[in-house]
Amino acid sequence: MDKSKTNVVVFFTDQQRWDTSGLHGNPLDLMPNFDRLARAGTHLVNSFTCQPVCGPSRACLQTGLYATQTGVHVNGLGLKPGVKTLADYFDAAGYHTGYYGKWHLAPGQLKVAPEYRGGYTEWLAANWTEACSDAYACVLYDGDMQEVRLPGYRVDALTDAAIRFIDRNAHRPFFLMVSYLEPHHQNNRDDYPPPDGYRERYTDRWTPPDLKSLGGSSAYQLGGYYGMVKRLDEALGRVYDALKSLNLLENTILLFTSDHGCHFKTRNDEYKRSCHDSSMRIPTMFYGADFVGGGSRTELFSLIDVVPTLLDAAGLSVPDELPGHSLMPRLRGEETPWPEEVFVQISESECARAIRTTRWKYSVRSPFEVNWPTVMDKRAHAKEYKEVYLYDLESDPYELVNLAGGVQYREVCDALLGRLRRLMADAGEPPCTIEPAEPRDLYWRRPEIVSWN
């Protein structure tokens, strides 16, 4: 094969919290393969989605653009044909591209027509995997839109197919994205179905502090969710083993990331679509090629940064119009600037915006556009917003104490508001008004201002 080109495998999960990883404090050893490869490669400690819902986040990942730039701000809209994607960039560079699993970027389709496949050459996928398959009934559609039934637990079935792709294409440069439904819930019965026997391993074992405090559905769903995560990590180990057995490890980039997190009905009446870390913080690591020995990185990394990072790592040019940043110069030791915040656009449950710095979380929401008749009526942006959340992540990492409106924190909010306005404008959003939260005296909080970051 052409050794001058670096293969890419994107291992993409759905609705996976960052703290399922042992590197983030989970004591259940759910992700030993992720943890091992992250230690040996490059671990993005502070990694976030830029849109905490399936379709919009996937459009951001594929294009390197914000939801207001892709036109996909809610599920069901579909990515317009002709918008440049990861597949287009790598195809133009002579790669064979493949997409396997859940797509969620075609308008109103289960079987995805060729014009809505984002430019991928080889195809084995469904628009909504949860609508055509189940834990032990994996059904996808091939490039001819014909049904393909894959045997085994759904994670294993998709992994088997991905390994066959790698084996078939080991002689030439390839870009493969494997998009799992897990650990997303099975919609038709609101359950997290793990492999048989796995739910029992993890039920009533360990609950993150936010879920322990706020409850939600975690008491009866967390065991199954953890079981799904465990099987995903075993699949990651199998992909690694396949690359090793084919002598592709040194010449392949392996990226593990997710589209958004899961708050188990603690922040609204479902699982994501909020500004909280439980919705937007995700596990992310790169392994292979120039990422080996990259260490634990503390930069605030967004899904927006995936496209420029992968293009740069593969030696391809990064378009100037992309809003994200490549991590590669920093891995090479260059003193390049990096954003001090990540920007998040929130839709469907509410029309909201948020920024997260190392220390602060600040969010605004439109009070007039929360309860649209249908999801499809929801707008990409609003004319008016109001402050709703401020969290001090230094003292409150699980965001249990909302400081919005506290007179002691007005100066903090004003500074964060200025940064938020700049990011909204950079993402192509029109001017808007943002009303301060109703003032209140948080007498139980220390009043001094310590840091903006």
Which CATH class name applies to 350-435? alpha beta
How far is it between the farthest Cα atoms of the chain?
67
277: helix, strand or coil: helix
Average pLDDT, the chain: 93
What's the rounded mean pLDDT across residues 58-64? 97
User: What's the average model confidence in pLDDT over 332-358?
Assistant: 94
The proportion of the chain whose per-residue pLDDT surpasses 90, expressed as a percent, equals 87
pLDDT at 98: 98
- pLDDT above 90 (res 118): yes
Contacts of 339 (CB under 8 A, 6+ apart): 300, 325
**What's the rounded Cα separation, in Å, for the pair 353 and 186?**
28
What secondary structure letter does DSSP report for 395? T
User: Is residue 207 scored above 50 in pLDDT?
Assistant: yes
- Those residues with Cβ within 8 angstroms of residue 188's Cβ, 6 or more apart along the chain or in another chain: 130
pLDDT tens for residues 81-91? 889 999 999 99
Percent of the chain with pLDDT over 70: 94
One-letter amino acid at 393 equals L
Rg (the chain; Cα; Å): 21
Q: Phi and psi for 344 in degrees, rounded to 5?
A: -125, 130
Q: Quick one: tokens of 314?
A: 């593969």
Residue 448: the pLDDT is 45
| Enclosing H/E stretch for 390 | strand 384-392
φ/ψ bin of 47: left (φ > 0), alpha (ψ from -120 to 50), beta (otherwise): beta
Confidence at residue 369, expressed as pLDDT on a 0 to 100 scale = 54
Q: What is the pLDDT of residue 341?
A: 97
In which band, very low, low, confident or very high, does the pLDDT at 77 lie, cut at 50, 70 and 90?
A: confident
Q: How far apart are CA 283 and CA 183, in angstroms?
A: 13
Strand partners of residue 12: 179, 257
pLDDT digits (tens, 9 = 90+) for 295-320: 999 999 999 999 999 999 999 999 99
pLDDT band at 376 (very low <50, low <70, confident <90, very high): very low
Q: How confident is the model at residue 4 (pLDDT cuts 50, 70, 90)?
A: confident
Report which of residues 335 and 420 the model is more confident about.
420
Question: Which pLDDT does position 377 carry in this prediction?
Answer: 52
Q: Quote the pLDDT of residue 75.
A: 85
Q: What is the pLDDT of residue 94?
A: 97
Q: Find where tokens 């819902």 sit.
A: 53
Is pLDDT above 90 for 1? no
* pLDDT reported for residue 368: 67
Instruction: Tell me what pLDDT residue 372 has.
Output: 47
pLDDT digits (tens, 9 = 90+) for 228-264: 999 999 999 999 999 999 999 999 999 999 999 999 9
Residue 294 pLDDT greater than 60, yes or no: yes
Q: Give me the mean pLDDT over the 384-391 stretch.
A: 96
Q: Does domain 7-331 fall into CATH 2.40.30.10?
A: no
Burial (CB < 10 A; 0-12, 13-18, 19+), residue 236, is buried
Does residue 370 carry a pLDDT above 60?
no
Whether 32 has a pLDDT exceeding 90, the answer reads: yes
Q: What pLDDT was estimated at residue 444? A: 59
The pLDDT of residue 204? 95
Average pLDDT over residues 5-23: 98
Q: What are the sequence ranges of the domains in the chain? A: 7-331, 350-435
pTM over 0.85: yes
**Rounded CA separation 144/362 (Å):** 46
Look at residue 209 and tell me whether its pLDDT is greater than 80: yes
pLDDT at 2 over 80: no
